[in-house]
Amino acid sequence: MGFSVSLDDLLGDEVRRDPYPYYARLHELGEAVALAPTAPYAAVVHGYDAAHRVLRDPVFRVLDADHLDRAGLRWRDHAVIRTLQASMFNAPPDDHARVRQLFGQALTARRVTALEPAILRIADRLLDGLADAGADGRPVDFMAEFALPLPSDVVGELLGVPERDRGWFPSRVRAFDAVLEIGPRSFREIRAANVAAEELTAYFTDLLAVRRAEPRDDLVSALAGIRDERPDQLSETELLANLIVMYNAGFRTTANLFGNGLTLLLARPDALAALRADPRLAPAYVEEILRYEPPVHFAVRYAAQDTEIAGLSIPRGRSVLVLTGAANRDPRRFTDPDSFDPSRPDNRHLAFSAGPHYCVGAALGRAEGRLVLPRLLDRFPALALAAEPGERRHFMLRGHDRLPVRLADPDTDRSAGTVRVDLAKPT
């Protein structure tokens, strides 16, 4: 077929900018393809059924500390990797189940539901700020003014991070998250990630001390109580690491849900009009945005024993690259997968992963999208791109760094529901 699979191609500029043609070619080769013996992964898994199996199969495990030790990596020299390895993100099965159960006792459906009034209050405040920043048709960066601060404030509200501190987080979270991207990282990026990990650890150490002295109805207080009641079930290191990872994941992914979703809708006036006409469609739109342009495109798992996937032999200890972004466009699973269709039935995508590492914050991210997306579109009927969106080049936390928009045209302030008339012009 004239198409060979190369990790270098996947990591190249062309595919990073638009991976979907590459994914389509992968689908022509089956559900998984082997890589060269010298590649860091034994195979790329890109079909929906194969990816779903890897993510759920206990034989395939996250890159835990034992795996990194066997690979001879000096990961303990890096604060950012120590934090990730102490979190649910890379915990071995028994530790993951134990910690996730404890966090699940604190992050309940009731707590997420109770957060909905705060989500709407935060959204309305930021929409007012967005309107001010984009008054008279001035271009405004949607990511900086709305998409990033909204979920940052929401997860801050959930955890109990004081509002005055929330602006401190984004730059540190961005530096920390850089090490999650597929491919090599520069020394400068690793150093910045380590500094960020140390600063975030210090912050949450102080916040835990404050909440232990004066508990509140927030997640940090609840988790501190669980830790103090059952110290043999949750170490302080695990508590701190998971608070950091939960905060980071809780706003970067949702910010990209809003940014990616807005560009999709502005390019599809009919779909945009349908959602404006019936906000009850928002949950289906959120699911299709997540399938079509997910914030996370891959996961990595290693084989704990000799196994196979889609007919390929995977030796014990070798890892596989699971392209969940490709699985979400698998024509074997989704009819016309490259079309954006919010009415799509049975839209069970892999944007939140699957199996034991299914995203613990999925319900919160869905709630934010469902509640806020219709509010944004209703507030600004003339919302439009002001320039080309910022380039997307990452597979992990894939989204726009910048998204310039106009909220109204310069002579008509539709966001306020009034028409501004220039008295110097004849009417």
3-state secondary structure 137-203: HCCEEHHHHHHCHHHHHHHHHHHCCCHHHHHHHHHHHHHHHHHHCCCCCCHHHHHHHHHHHHHHHHH
Residue 242 amino acid letter:
N
pLDDT at 418: 36
Least confident among 15-19, 101-105, 122-126, 149-153: 101-105
pLDDT(414) > 70: no
In 3D, which of 334, 331, 250, 249 has the Cα closest to residue 287?
Answer: 334
Assess whether pLDDT exceeds 60 at residue 108: yes
369-395 confidence digits (pLDDT tens): 999 999 999 999 999 999 999 789 999
Residue whose structure tokens are 């966001």:
415
**pLDDT at residue 4 greater than cutoff 80:** no
Rounded Cα gap, residues 370 and 284, in angstroms: 9
| pLDDT grade for 410, boundaries at 50, 70 and 90 | low
pLDDT band at 409 (very low <50, low <70, confident <90, very high): low
Rounded distance, CA 359 to CA 88, Å? 10
Least confident of 81-85, 102-106, 187-191, 297-301: 102-106
Q: Is pLDDT of 354 > 50? A: yes
Asked, for residue 13, whether it belongs to a domain, the answer is no
**Helix 236-266 × helix 282-292 angle, to 10°:** 100
Instruction: Assess if residue 121 is contained within a domain.
Output: yes
- The residue that leads in pLDDT, 407 or 410, is 407
Q: How many domains does the chain have?
A: 1
Segment 220-248, tens digit of pLDDT: 999 999 999 999 999 999 999 999 999 99
Angle CA 401–299–23, to nearest 5: 75
pLDDT at 341 over 90: yes
Contact indicator for 53, 309 with CB cutoff of 8 Å: yes
Q: Can you give the pLDDT at residue 7? A: 87
Question: Nearest-CA neighbor of 414 among 131, 123, 120, 139?
Answer: 131
Instruction: Please give the pLDDT value at position 368.
Output: 97
Contact 51, 327 (CB under 8 A): yes
Has residue 161 been placed in a domain? yes
- Structural domain including 86 reads 73-298+348-414
Sequence-distant (6+) residues with CB within 8 A of 183 are 11
DSSP label at residue 229: H
Other beta carbons within 10 Å of 282: 20
Indicate whether 397 belongs to any domain: yes
Single out the residue of 341, 388, 298, 331 nearest to residue 15, CA to CA: 298
pLDDT at 327 over 90: yes
Is this structure's pTM higher than 0.85? yes
Q: What is the mean pLDDT of residues 68-93?
A: 95
What would the mean pLDDT of 104-121 be, rounded to a whole number? 90
Q: How far apart are CA 337 and CA 42, in angstroms?
A: 27
Question: Would you give the DSSP letter of residue 396?
Answer: B
Three-state DSSP at 343 gives coil
Higher pLDDT, 103 or 257: 257
User: Quick check: helix, strand or coil at residue 321?
Assistant: strand
Strand 319-322 and strand 43-45: the pairing is parallel
Q: What is the pLDDT of residues 147-162, one digit of tens each?
A: 999 999 999 999 999 9
Query: pLDDT per residue over 275-293, tens digit each?
Result: 999 999 999 999 999 999 9
Confidence band of 6 (pLDDT split at 50, 70, 90): confident
Q: Is the dihedral of CA 210, 191, 174, 113 positive or negative?
A: negative
What CATH number does the domain containing 252 carry? 1.10.630.10
Amino acid 378: pLDDT = 96
426 has a pLDDT exceeding 70 = no
The number of beta carbons lying within 10 Å of the beta carbon of residue 338 is 12
| Number of residues that this document lists for the chain | 427
On whether residue 118 sits in a domain, the answer given is: yes
- Tell which residue, 226, 220, 89, 84, has the closest CA to residue 156: 220
Residue 359 lies in a domain: yes
Mean of pLDDT values over 324-348: 97
Residue 387 lies in a domain: yes
Residue 15, domain member (yes or no): no
The answer to whether the beta carbons of residues 395 and 297 sit under 8 Å apart is yes
Task: Read off the tokens for 108.
Answer: 């309940």
